[in-house]
Amino acid sequence: MNLERDLQDMREYYRSGKTKEASWRKLQLQRLKAFLKEKERDIYRALNQDLGKHHVEAFRDEIGVLQKSINFALQNLKEWMSSKKAKLPAVAVLSYAEIVPEPLGLVLIISSWNFSIGLSLEPLIGAIAAGNTVVLKPSELASASSSLLANALPTYIDSKAIKVIEGGPAVGEHLLQQKWDKIFFTGSTRVGRMVMSAAVKHLTPITLELGGKCPAIIDSLTSSWDKEAAVKRIIVSKYGPCAGQACIAIDYLLVEEKFTSTLVELLKVHIKKMLGENPRKSNSIARIINKHHFSRLKNLLNDPMVKDSIVYGGSVDEANLFIEPTVLVDPPLQAAIMTEEIFGPLLPIITLKRIEDSIDFINSRPKPLVIYAFTKNERLQRRMVSETSSGSIVFNDAVIQFVADTLPFGGIGESGIGSYHGKFSFDAFSHHKPVVRRSYLSEIWFRFPPWNNYKLQLFELVYNYDYLGMLLVILGLKRPRKVAI
């Protein structure tokens, strides 16, 4: 293919106005929904081939989430596309304003491998709903999913406006050299920096969905019900989403020393209940994406500083790219497992004297994508909200924020720039253009030279919304102040 020529054709197609039509947007979303339904088994096979995902996990985390997002967009598209009235100052009589959403144009979406279908199509839903032409580059690491998207998706949607381009880093670099009206990237912070650097050349707006080390704070919950509920939610939110290969997965736990042994025993019990005595034989936990990431995780475990902190799990099977769900207690904070994003089924527990100390611990590190806090202490919850900074914060559960169409999903600082999901996806790919209309029948006469203190006084009153004072000055009932320069 000739990339430059194809991009020019896509720009011309966008300028034709076709993608701005509500009927076009709805049709593409409906066809995307049909793709998910009709290719469901193919998607399951691709995700299993790439990551060993069970089809129930694949539906829960990808297909089902996408169906929900498409339905939400179709239900709300008319409202999202409509202009919104904007209020003007009272002095601007016979003036009217509105805010009109318009598509950005030709956009690039670069997705990640861990949710290779979901993270490709979720931003695409927003880009289509907003009326853009789109180039989608799936991750080459999830080759089966990438091939499925490249070969099957064009038969469902408008291939003049939406193209899927496969390839590795060289293709990605070539794409980033082109001029785009928006770049949406999901992946590592390291590559995110490269995307941001490339975008500077054309001053291209970007959304970066990155990651980081998401902490979970575990208070010393009193009732056995609360403890078990918290532990089950921690397990499914650490080992459940793609074997921990998820930016929103819990990275490490912060817990009071006195609760540590209880927590570890509960983790052991419920890991076995969910994944069996031999998780290697379970089909309910995904595999590691490739040998590179397997070796990276294996090296984290084999670190001499870390080995003695393993209290559960730790076995590996390179032939099947399997790493057992592993629990560690107090690995050295300078070890790689506590300085790098883990992105795998390894769960360090860091003990604290007081659970309140978790706030300082979190604040001493880069801002995370999410903070999870399992606590019924309302004062601690208020402190967590006001004294920490993160992309989002969730109390007494984890990961559930990702599926909420009414909430923005995104990071802050090193964990990301911008947000999406639901209306926020539409906004991520739109420019909200102010439109002002003015009548010739009225005039703000004092905005024109020559200048004097009388006009200065009127400006001061207008900018302070003191319309009564302005009227008094105009009627001569209030003398303007003199300004000496």
What is the largest distance, in Å, between two alpha-carbon atoms of the chain? 91
Give the H or E element holding residue 425: helix 423-428
How far is Cα 53 from Cα 116, in angstroms, rounded to an integer?
11
Low-confidence ranges of the chain (pLDDT < 70): 1
Q: Are strands 346-352 and 326-329 parallel, antiparallel or unpaired?
A: parallel
Active-site residue, selected from the candidate residues 57, 62, 122, 209: 209
Conformational region of residue 343, where left means phi above 0, alpha means psi within -120 to 50, and beta covers everything else:
left
Which residues partner with 317 through β-bridges? 322
Which residues partner with 253 through β-bridges? 216, 349
Beta strands in 60-178 (DSSP E): 84-86, 95-103, 106-110, 133-137, 162-164
The CATH code of the domain at 3-210+421-433 is: 3.40.605.10
What is the identity of the amino acid at 210? L
Q: What is the pLDDT of residue 379?
A: 96
Contacts of 267 (CB under 8 A, 6+ apart): 231, 234, 235, 312, 327, 347
Q: What is the pLDDT of residue 1?
A: 65
pTM: 0.95
pLDDT digits (tens, 9 = 90+) for 356-380: 999 999 999 999 999 999 999 999 9
Q: What is the pLDDT of residue 60?
A: 97
CATH 3.40.50.300 assigned to 215-404 = no
Active-site residue, selected from the candidate residues 122, 214, 247, 341: 247
Give the pair of three-digit tokens for residue 242: 């793609």
Phi, then psi, of 54 in degrees rounded to 5: -70, 150
How far is Cα 266 from Cα 107, in angstroms, rounded to an integer?
47
Whether 247 sits among the annotated catalytic residues: the reply is: yes
Give the H or E element holding residue 152: helix 143-152
Q: What is the pLDDT of residue 53?
A: 96
Give the H or E element holding residue 126: helix 118-129
Q: What is the pLDDT of residue 362?
A: 98
How far is Cα 465 from Cα 471, in angstroms, rounded to an integer?
12
How far is Cα 462 from Cα 464, in angstroms, rounded to an integer?
5
Whether 38 sits among the annotated catalytic residues: the reply is: no
How far is Cα 91 from Cα 76, in angstroms, rounded to an integer?
35
Q: Could you tell me the residue ranges of all domains in the chain?
A: 3-210+421-433, 215-404, 444-485
State how far Cα 406 lies from the chain centre. 13
Give the pair of three-digit tokens for residue 37: 């339904």
How far is Cα 422 from Cα 72, in angstroms, rounded to an integer?
7
pLDDT digits (tens, 9 = 90+) for 208-238: 999 999 999 999 877 889 999 999 999 999 9
